[in-house]
């Protein structure tokens, strides 16, 4: 069964999920963020099939999140290094980790420490203007693309309360 591509949808979330939304890609990135840069080490840490890992790494390199750098000539071997685009995804992955720790696990298998101040930390999404945490009920989304939301800018809470339908990029109404 072939999966639906969201690569052309006019939605940044859909496009990101098209690239990153399978069960292995974020785990491969996690290993690179945690310092594993070599194929065999990533494979050993995840227990992932070699062909699956090859495909995920090729996709991440092709998309520009990782680059391959040769570290050995005989035999030729490469390691995978984060690009600026790859490093820029770190806050999103840290936010997913925080959410998973809060809602899906009993423990915290990884603790993050901010090396600048030395304190244990977690991801917090804040307003870039005032610094307050972003809560779903305090944010409005205004579609600027070709397909706009009915009713213009609305908060997530407003949609939740009103029961209004939304329109997907395919033009299908939903709730």
**3-class secondary structure per residue, 147-162:** CCCCCCCEEHHHHHHH
Residue 78 to residue 68: CA distance in whole angstroms? 6
pLDDT of 84: 98
pTM: 0.77
Q: Which residues form the domain of 22?
A: 12-88
pLDDT of 74: 94
pLDDT of 142: 85
Residue 64, sorted as left (phi over 0), alpha (psi -120 to 50) or beta, turns out to be left
pLDDT of 153: 55
Q: Quick one: 80 and 16 in the same domain? A: yes
Whether the CA torsion 166, 169, 171, 172 is positive or negative: it is: negative
Residue 132 to residue 173: CA distance in whole angstroms? 33
Q: Quick one: 116 and 149 in the same domain? A: no
Q: Is residue 55 part of a domain?
A: yes
Q: Quick one: 103 and 163 in the same domain? A: no
Peptide bond before 75: cis, by omega within 30 degrees of 0?
A: yes
Q: Which residues contact 168 (CB under 8 A, 6 or more apart)?
A: 174
pLDDT of 108: 81
Q: Which residues contact 108 (CB under 8 A, 6 or more apart)?
A: 101
Q: Quick one: 82 and 22 in the same domain? A: yes
Q: Quick one: 76 and 22 in the same domain? A: yes
Q: List per-residue pLDDT tens for the chain, 175 residues long.
A: 677 788 777 788 888 888 898 889 999 999 999 999 999 999 999 999 999 999 999 999 999 999 999 999 999 999 999 999 999 999 999 999 999 999 998 888 889 999 999 999 999 999 999 999 999 999 998 877 655 444 455 555 544 444 444 444 444 444 3
Q: Is residue 39 part of a domain?
A: yes
């Amino acid at each position: 069964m072939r999966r639906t591509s969201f690569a052309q949808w006019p939605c940044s979330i859909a496009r990101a999920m098209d690239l990153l939304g399978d069960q292995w890609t974020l785990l491969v990135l996690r290993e690179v963020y945690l310092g594993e840069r070599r194929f065999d080490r990533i494979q050993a840490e995840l227990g992932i099939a070699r062909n699956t890992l090859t495909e995920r790494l090729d996709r991440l390199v092709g998309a520009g999140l990782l680059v391959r750098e040769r570290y050995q000539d005989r035999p030729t071997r490469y390691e995978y290094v984060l690009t600026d685009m790859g490093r820029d995804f770190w806050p999103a992955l840290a936010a997913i980790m925080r959410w998973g720790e809060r809602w899906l696990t009993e423990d915290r298998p990884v603790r993050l420490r901010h090396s600048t101040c030395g304190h244990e930390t977690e991801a917090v999404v804040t307003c870039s203007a005032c610094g307050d945490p972003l809560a779903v009920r305090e944010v409005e989304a205004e579609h600027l693309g070709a397909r706009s939301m009915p009713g213009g800018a609305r908060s997530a809470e407003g949609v939740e309360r009103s029961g209004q339908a939304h329109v997907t990029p395919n033009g299908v109404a939903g709730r």
